[in-house]
Amino acid sequence: MGCGTQSAPDQHGGQGVTNAALVLEDGRVFRGEAYGATGVSLGEVVFSTAMTGYQETLTDPSYHRQIVVQTAPQIGNTGWNDEDDESSKIWVAGYVVRDPARTPSNWRSKRGLDEELADQGVVGIAGLDTRTLTRHIREQGAMRAGVFSGSGLTDDASMVEQVKASAEMVGANLAVDVTAAKPYVVEAIGEKKFTVAALDLGIKSNTPRMMAARGIEVHVLPLTSSFEDVLKVSPDGLFLSNGPGDPATQDHAIALTKEALGRKLPLFGICFGNQILGRAVGRGTYKMRYGHRGINIPVIDVTTGKVAITSQNHGFALEGTPGEEFSSEFGRAVLSHYCPNDGTVEGVRLLDAPAFSVQYHPEAAAGPHDAAPLFDEFVTLMNEAR
């Protein structure tokens, strides 16, 4: 598909107001209506196939510096509430929807999605053909893009140049932008059974809650924490969180992970944490064509053959073949999970040390609960280590 423009159909099939544009680095321009804040927003354009949970998506730190396209046609039906945020703010760089709800309808709603986007300064665009856009991203790959509206809307050539001048995702060290400024503790619910140090690479709020429900006191530590800082909390285990950016930039987190593995401290990682563990045991990572983002993505455990329908958000993945066993400086390891859609590696398990990780999100409130027992597996590892 070459360069061109798109005029947005209104809700009755005619041509609507086109006072905003989504501009891709390959020169493709999609026209639509301003949604949320107006101005200019630059980032990597990606699509999410989730039909629900847009509030969790928008507040997921893993989406930092990304312009998210929702493939579900209608967004905003349930408005915005004060309970479902996965962090302290909206992290997406920009937001793209086809048919925004005119009036939200949910007993928990406090305000409309467009109002929240505007309040937090998130530049969005509505009314464009998200099916065509998604097919373009699938064929051409995730790429740099910009949402332009209001005074930021200029001629196409100028907007394309702005997009091309923006930073790429490969080589981007973004976890440092989203990590906690200082340590904090999430208390165990009921009897305290374990203490876990959680390295915050962009942790979501529901992750400590899932551990707290299992009697775990979670000490969330900033990315810059040393291994000595980890040991100060007397942890029974180490958790590596999700997060944004290129895992190849995370030398500090990888070194800290190696120290934990060397001491056989039980370790569990998800998403970005899976890539950190993989690199710590000698695997490479690569940028995917358009990544996995949604709450309907199948994953197979190579040991049991069991399929889980998972929530995912990643644009990088581990190199290797599903089921492959290999040697590391910490003993034998196996690439334990994979996505049957494309063969992407989705997990790592060490066979001679108490450590494992998965590429998906077992804590995801917007998704199913197939993967929640992974937290119980982490508990079992810590029990056995005792």
Q: Which residues are catalytic?
A: 271, 361, 363
CA distances (Å), origin 54, targets 75, 86, 118, 291, 339: 8, 11, 16, 18, 23
CA distances (Å), origin 237, targets 169, 262, 264, 361: 31, 13, 9, 19
Contact between 118 and 87 (Cβ < 8 Å): no
Q: Measure the CA–CA gap between 255 and 226, rounded to whole angstroms.
A: 10
What is the rounded (10 degree) CA torsion for 375, 377, 382, 385? -170
- Written as one letter, the residue type at 106 is N
Q: Cβ of 321: how many Cβ atoms within 10 Å?
A: 10
Q: Measure the CA–CA gap between 169 and 231, rounded to whole angstroms.
A: 33
Q: For the packed helices 251-262 and 272-280, what is the interaxial angle rounded to 10 degrees? A: 60
Residues pairing with 79 in the sheet: none
